[in-house]
Structure 1
Amino acid sequence: MKTLKEGRSLNQTIYARIRELILTGQLIPGNKLKISELAHRFDVSLNVIREALNRLAGELLVEVAPQQGFSVRGLDADDLRDLTEQRILFESIALRKSIATRDVEWQARLVAANHRLVHTPQTLAEEPGKLNPGWHSRHEDFNFIMMENCGSDWLFLMIKQLAEAFSIYQRVLLPVTAEEGERNADHNELLEAILANDADRATAILTEHLNQTRDVMLNALNAVSPGKKASFIP
């Protein structure tokens, strides 16, 4: 018989695994989540899966509909606009705070993160039109290091949650249209503004970058599913 501690550990593990599958796009936005199938997949009880899905619903990664059960949250134009607006709001505050309290160690981490990013191929060699997960991960690292010096755990947590939800749209909708050099130039320009202690310029570059990314994804979303929430088939 499992102890209470072992039960909590199992529940946390299953929750984390399903969450990762959603964030990486392995569970497709809009698709139904069958509790029995997930229980069989992870070899756990129905209650463990149900608890995990309820937690994820509280994070807005899963939707619950009466008589229909659970599904991965679909992609929606209004939701994407809201996510972008909130990212700009919170990340601008955090970036200004990070710059105001900058030190050599934080600047060095940021420079190193940018170096790793610009030297990582944006696309997969075997699939030139597909975003490289390694590039996406290093892009997130760069963004989070920019914000982590803000001095507020609550603010940083909110930023991470918004960025994770935003990343679901990116993995599905963001085509690789810009040249790598162009994207690298954007990040280099942002880094230069940060290192120059120019918070106004840095937040303006950040805002423009997020708005441009939103517009590209809105165009892609509208092409797939105009005027309604989109579901995707793997």
Structure 2
Amino acid sequence: MKIIRFDTDERQGDTIGDTAYRRIRSDIIHGRLVPDEKLKLERMKEVYRASVTTLREILNRLAVEELVSAEGQRGFRVAPINEAELHDLARMRTLLETHALRESIVSGDVEWEAGIVAAQYKLSSVERDLIEGEAPGDLNWVSFDWGFHYAMMSACGQRVLMRTYSSIYDRLARYHMLALPFRGETVVEEHERLRDLVIGRKADDAVELLTRHVQGGVDYIMQSGRFSVA
């Protein structure tokens, strides 16, 4: 499975707006544009090589996704962070992902199983490099985490759910990226165990572990000390 969700490279057929949208969105999720930062269109025009009109359209789109806050005539800011939203996003992610996981365990075939194994293998390789300090500084590990969790859910057959989940995942991922570094060995072990439980069709155990996995991420964010939430 090729992971392209967080890929910001220009693709064939892209408009300037398409590329700029992905780059701005990625910069918000990865914390390069920090919470509550004023988004100055003249500067962004140079950085993202897009017109002010195109940038306004992109920022309005990101405001709908709740990654940007529109301030009327005063322009735009990166959406702020807060503890209530963090917990709400985690609860919604858990609700959607556990439901999709149960459906996938019932419906998934051997190709689905192979996709999970492949995605977890890629993720574990990245996680080991991070733990051992051998990963490049710009490694986009969140894309591999996304790839694994998406693979587990991918047989649910519910497109609306998956689109909603994708948005929730991205907004929660922003909190994780702001709370770097990587959580460590516990996460690696949980991913390995999730793989085994899902392929073994042990739905109740998989859902229980997944719920603890997401909550563990929230606990880490709150304890990291890398930022405070109001």
CA distance in 1, matches of 2:161, 2:66: 18
**Corresponding position of 1:232:** none
Q: In structure 1, what is the equivalent of residue 114 of structure 2?
A: 108
Structure 2 SS opposite 1:197: coil
**1:96 is matched with which residue?**
102
Task: State the distance in 2 between where 1:97 and 1:19 align.
Answer: 30
Question: How does the TM-score come out when normalised to structure 2?
Answer: 0.84
**TM-fit CA distance, 1:160:** 1.1
Give 1:224 shift: 3.3
- Separation (CA, whole Å) in 1 of partners of 2:157 and 2:166: 14
Greater relative contact order, per chain length (Cα 8 Å cut-off, separation 6+): 1
CA contact (8 A) 2:97 2:153 kept: yes
Aligned to 2:223: 219
Q: Compute the displacement of 1:195 (Å).
A: 1.5
- Residue 27 of structure 1 aligns to a residue whose secondary structure is coil
CA displacement, residues 188-208 of structure 1 (integer Å, 9 cap, x when unaligned): 111111112111111110000
Q: Which residue in 1 is equivalent to 2:5?
A: none
User: Where in structure 2 are the equivalents of 1:38-187 lying within 5 Å?
Assistant: 38-66=44-72, 68-120=74-126, 121-123=129-131, 125=133, 133-178=139-184, 180=185, 182-187=186-191
Tell me, yes or no, if structure 1 residue 189 matches structure 2 residue 188.
no
Q: Residue 204 in 1 paired to residue 208 in 2?
A: yes
Of 14, 33, 39, the match for 1:33:
39
RMSD of aligned residue pairs (Cα, Å): 2.3
Identity in percent: 33
Q: Distance in 2 between matches of 1:177 and 1:187?
A: 12
Change (3 A) 1:175 1:15: closer
Larger Rg: 1
How many residues align? The count is: 215
Tell me, what secondary structure is at the counterpart of 2:130? coil
Deviations, residues 118-155 of structure 1 (Å, cap 9, x unaligned): 22222473789x7x734332121101111111101111
What is the distance in 2 between the residues matched to 1:44 and 1:191?
A: 42
Q: Which runs of 5+ in 2 are unaligned?
A: 1-13
Other-structure match for 2:8: none
Q: Return 5+ residue gaps in structure 1 as ranges.
A: 1-7, 229-234
CA-to-partner distance for each residue in 1:77-100, whole Å, 9 max, x for gaps?
Answer: 111000001001100110001101
